[in-house]
C-alpha cells in the first residue's frame, strides 16, 4: 500500500480533516488543538489519551512524510498544522466531499456500516440517501489508485457488512484475510428487498396524510383527551374517498387499551394515538377529518388549527355562530383550510343518484332509527337529522327552499319524529326521520316515466353492537310507459 500509517498517525490526520470542514474558522490547528481533537471523547473509537509530546512527535513525522505542513504567519509565535493528505495542490490523492467525509469518519472511528457512516458523517457531508453512501464506498473500494476501503464479512446476526479504511501499515495482510473470508455476494436478493422497501417508504411519505377523530361526545369537564363513541367505518371511507383513494389514515382514540383497540380496529387506520394532544399533528398529518358531536367542535377544531393543520368538519362547524366566526378567523389568520362537509356527499350510491336527478319531479329521503330516542331535540337535529336534510338539498343542487314541516317531541323533550317539505322550480323534496321506526334509510326519486329507489341496510344497535339487516345497498331505476 502507498499509504502506511500507524493508528496514532491515522488519528492525527483524521482530526485535521474533520476540523478543516466542521470548524474552518479555527483551522489550521495548533499542537494543543490537535491534542484536544485526538483525545476527544465523542466521535472517536477508541478513545485515546495522547500526551502533548506524543502528538508533537507524530506531527513532526507526518510533516516529514509530506502528509502535513506547518503554517506560521507574521507575528504568529504558535506553529499551526494543516493536512496535505488529500486534495492538496501537488498531492496525488483527490477525494470528493462525500469521500472525504467517509474516509475521515473511518479514520476516527474504525470499521462501520453504511448506515453508521451516513449518520456520523453528516456534520461533514449530508448524504441524500443510503444509495449515495454505498456508491461512495464502492468507488473507494474499486479506485485504480486504491483500494482505500474494504468491506468486511458480515458478522453473524448483523444486517449490514462493515467497511474499514486501508491506510494503516498492517492493511495488506488484512486485505488478504478479508478476501479469503468474504463469502460469495449472495445478498443480492436482500439488497433488492431493501430497495423495494425504501421505495415503498418514499411513496408513503409523499402521499397525503389524514387523520380522523372518533365520533362521539366529550365528557363534561374533559378536555380533548377523553372521547366517547366509536370511530365508524364510513368515516374512514369518506376520508379515503376525499383523498382520491390514497394517503395515510390515522385515528385518534380515547384512553384505555380495549377502547383504543375497538375504535381503531373498526376503521383499520394507518395508526392510532391514545390522546388527541399526543398526536404530532403538524408533522404527521396534512389534514384532519373531525367527526365528533357538534358541541365538541369548537374545542377540537380550535386545538387542531392552533397545531397548524388543515381541518374538515363533518356536521355544522360549531354550536354557536360566534364560535364558528372565531374558528373561521383563526383559520384565515393561520392561512389554513377550514372546510365543512357531510360524508354522504362522498358515498358512491348518493353520487350515482345525483347524476340521475336531472329530470326528476320529486325526491324523498327517509332515515329512521330503531329505538333511538334517548337524546335531546337539539342534539338529534344538529347531529343526526341534519344529515338527512343536507343530503336531500345537495341532491337537489341546493335550490330547494323550506315550505313547511312538523316535529313530534316526547314529554322529556326528545325528538320522536321530524318531517319537512322543500320545493324548487323543478323539484319537490321531502325529508323524514322517526327515532322508533323500523324502515331502513331510503331515498326515492321520480320523474316522467321513471322512478329510482336507493336503499341502505337497516342498522340496529343491540348491546352496544351494531348489526346490519336487509339486502346489500344499491339503487334501482325503473322505467314506466
Residue 81 is inside which H or E element, if any?
strand 80-83
Say if residue 46 is preceded by a cis peptide, omega within 30 of 0: yes
| Helix H or strand E encompassing 474 | strand 474-479
- Whether 227 shows a pLDDT value over 50: the answer reads no
Determine the Cα–Cα distance for residues 85 and 142; give it in Å rounded to an integer. 20
Q: What is the pLDDT of residue 238?
A: 34
Asked whether the domain spanning 207-341 has the same topology as the one spanning 7-181, the reply is no
Give all strands of the β-sheet with 80-83 in edge-to-edge order: 29-30, 80-83, 68-71
CB 49 within 8 A of CB 39: yes
% of the chain at pLDDT higher than 90: 34
For 378-436, how does the pLDDT look when each residue is reduced to its tens digit (9 = 90+)?
A: 878 877 888 888 888 888 887 889 999 999 998 888 888 899 999 988 889 999 998 87
DSSP H helices, 65-96, are none
- 369/439 Cα distance (integer angstroms): 8
Q: Is 158 helix (H, G, I), strand (E, B) or coil?
A: coil
pLDDT of residue 312: 84
* Domain 347-479 grouped into CATH 3.50.50.60: no
Secondary element (H or E) of residue 349: helix 348-354
- How far apart CA 386 and CA 380 sit, in angstroms, is 8
Cα–Cα distance for residue pair 218/214, rounded to 1 Å: 11
The cell numbers describing 200, all together, are 415503498
- pLDDT higher than threshold 80 for residue 317: yes
What percentage of the chain carries pLDDT values higher than 70? 66
What cell was used for 125?
A: 457531508
CA neighbours within 13 Å on the CB side: how many for 174? 19
DSSP secondary structure letter of residue 383: I
Contact predicate 394/354, CB 8 Å: yes
CATH topology of domain 207-341: Rossmann fold (3.40.50)
By C-alpha distance, which of 325, 259, 267, 324 is closest to 291? 267
Q: 84-117: b or e for each residue (b if 16 or more CB lie within 10 Å)?
A: bbbbbeeeebebeebbbbbbbbbbbbebbbbebb
311, 331 contact by CB (below 8 A):
yes
Pairing type for strands 310-314 and 338-341 reads parallel
State the helix-helix crossing angle for 7-22 and 31-38, rounded to 10 degrees: 110
474 vs 13: which has the higher pLDDT: 13
Q: What pLDDT digit, counting tens, does each position of 139-163 carry?
A: 999 998 889 999 998 887 777 899 9
Q: Is the pLDDT of residue 305 over 60?
A: yes
Better-scored residue on pLDDT, 292 or 178: 292
The answer on pLDDT for 447 being more than 80 is: no
- Mean pLDDT is lowest, of 98-107, 262-271, 322-331, 450-459, for 262-271
What is the rounded distance in angstroms from the CA atom of residue 145 to the CA atom of residue 134?
Answer: 19
> What mean pLDDT is predicted for residues 66-89?
86
Q: Is the pLDDT of residue 5 over 60?
A: yes
247 or 46: which leads in pLDDT: 46
Between 113 and 235, the more confident residue is 113
Crossing angle of the two packed helices 130-142 and 97-109, in degrees rounded to 10: 80
Q: Can you tell me the mean pLDDT for 100-108?
A: 96
DSSP readout, 253-292? --SSHHHHHHHHHHH--SEEESSGGGS-HHHH-SEEEE-S
Q: Pick the more confident residue, 112 or 299.
A: 112
What per-residue confidence (pLDDT) applies to 98?
Answer: 95
* pLDDT (0 to 100) of residue 163: 95
Which cell numbers hold the place of 222? Answer: 374533559
Considering the chain, what is the average pLDDT of its residues?
75
Phi then psi for residue 302, to 5 deg, are: -60, -45
Peptide bond into 28 cis (omega under 30): yes
In terms of pTM, does the model score above 0.75? Answer: no
Q: Tell me the CATH architecture of domain 7-181.
A: Orthogonal Bundle (1.10)
Q: 445, 414 in Cβ contact below 8 A? A: no
Give the 3-state secondary structure of residue 141. helix
Peptide bond before residue 450 is cis, with ω within 30 degrees of 0: no
Annotated domain spans of the chain: 7-181, 207-341, 347-479
Residue range 352-358: mean pLDDT, rounded: 75
Q: Give per-residue pLDDT as tens, 168-222.
A: 865 544 544 444 444 444 556 666 667 777 766 665 555 555 555 544 333 333 2
Query: From CA 115, how far away is CA 214, in angstroms rounded?
Result: 39
**Which three cell numbers, joined as nine digits, stand for 438?**
323500523
Amino acid at each position: 500500500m502507498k499509504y502506511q500509517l500507524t493508528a496514532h498517525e491515522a488519528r492525527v490526520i483524521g482530526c485535521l480533516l474533520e476540523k478543516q470542514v466542521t470548524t474552518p474558522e479555527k483551522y489550521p490547528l495548533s499542537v494543543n488543538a490537535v491534542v484536544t481533537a485526538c483525545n476527544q471523547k465523542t466521535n472517536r473509537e477508541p478513545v485515546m489519551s495522547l500526551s502533548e509530546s506524543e502528538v508533537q512527535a507524530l506531527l513532526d513525522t507526518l510533516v516529514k512524510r509530506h502528509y502535513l505542513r506547518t503554517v506560521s504567519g507574521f507575528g504568529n509565535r504558535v506553529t499551526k498544522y494543516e493536512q496535505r493528505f488529500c486534495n492538496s495542490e501537488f498531492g496525488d490523492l483527490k477525494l470528493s466531499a462525500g469521500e472525504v467525509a467517509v474516509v475521515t469518519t473511518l479514520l476516527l472511528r474504525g470499521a462501520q456500516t453504511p448506515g453508521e457512516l451516513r449518520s456520523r458523517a453528516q456534520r461533514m457531508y449530508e448524504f441524500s440517501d443510503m444509495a449515495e453512501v454505498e456508491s461512495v464506498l464502492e468507488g473507494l473500494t474499486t479506485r485504480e489508485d486504491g483500494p482505500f476501503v474494504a468491506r468486511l464479512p458480515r458478522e453473524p446476526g448483523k444486517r449490514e457488512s462493515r467497511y474499514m479504511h486501508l491506510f494503516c501499515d498492517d492493511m495488506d495482510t488484512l486485505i488478504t484475510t478479508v478476501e479469503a473470508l468474504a463469502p460469495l455476494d449472495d445478498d443480492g436478493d436482500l439488497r433488492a428487498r431493501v430497495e423495494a422497501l425504501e421505495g415503498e417508504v418514499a411513496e408513503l411519505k409523499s402521499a397525503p396524510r389524514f387523520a380522523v377523530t372518533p365520533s362521539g361526545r366529550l365528557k363534561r369537564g374533559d378536555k380533548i383527551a377523553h372521547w366517547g363513541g366509536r370511530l365508524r367505518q364510513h368515516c374512514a371511507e369518506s376520508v379515503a374517498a376525499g383523498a382520491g383513494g390514497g394517503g395515510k389514515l390515522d385515528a385518534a382514540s380515547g384512553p384505555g387499551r380495549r377502547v383504543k383497540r375497538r375504535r381503531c380496529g373498526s376503521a383499520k387506520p394507518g395508526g392510532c394515538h391514545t390522546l388527541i394532544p399526543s398526536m404530532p399533528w403538524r408533522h404527521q398529518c396534512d389534514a384532519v377529518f373531525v367527526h365528533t358531536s357538534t358541541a365538541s367542535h369548537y374545542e377540537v377544531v380550535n386545538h387542531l388549527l392552533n397545531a397548524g393543520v388543515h381541518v374538515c368538519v363533518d356536521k355544522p362547524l360549531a354550536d354557536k355562530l360566534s364560535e364558528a366566526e372565531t374558528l373561521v378567523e383563526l383559520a384565515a389568520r393561520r392561512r389554513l383550510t377550514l372546510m365543512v362537509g357531510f360524508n354522504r356527499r362522498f358515498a358512491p350510491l348518493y353520487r350515482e343518484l345525483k347524476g340521475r336527478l336531472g329530470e326528476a319531479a320529486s325526491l324523498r329521503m327517509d332515515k329512521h332509527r330503531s329505538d333511538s330516542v334517548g337524546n335531546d331535540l337539539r342534539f338529534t337535529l344538529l347531529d343526526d337529522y341534519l344529515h338527512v336534510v343536507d343530503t336531500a338539498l345537495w341532491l337537489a343542487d341546493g335550490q330547494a327552499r323550506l315550505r313547511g314541516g312538523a316535529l313530534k317531541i316526547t314529554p322529556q323533550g326528545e325528538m320522536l319524529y321530524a318531517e319537512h317539505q322543500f320545493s324548487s322550480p323543478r323539484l319537490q323534496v321531502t325529508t323524514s326521520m322517526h327515532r322508533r321506526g323500523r324502515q331502513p334509510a331510503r331515498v326515492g326519486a321520480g320523474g316522467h316515466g321513471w322512478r329510482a329507489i336507493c336503499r341502505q341496510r337497516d342498522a340496529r344497535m343491540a348491546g352496544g353492537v351494531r348489526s346490519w339487516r336487509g339486502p346489500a345497498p344499491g339503487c334501482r331505476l325503473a322505467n314506466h310507459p
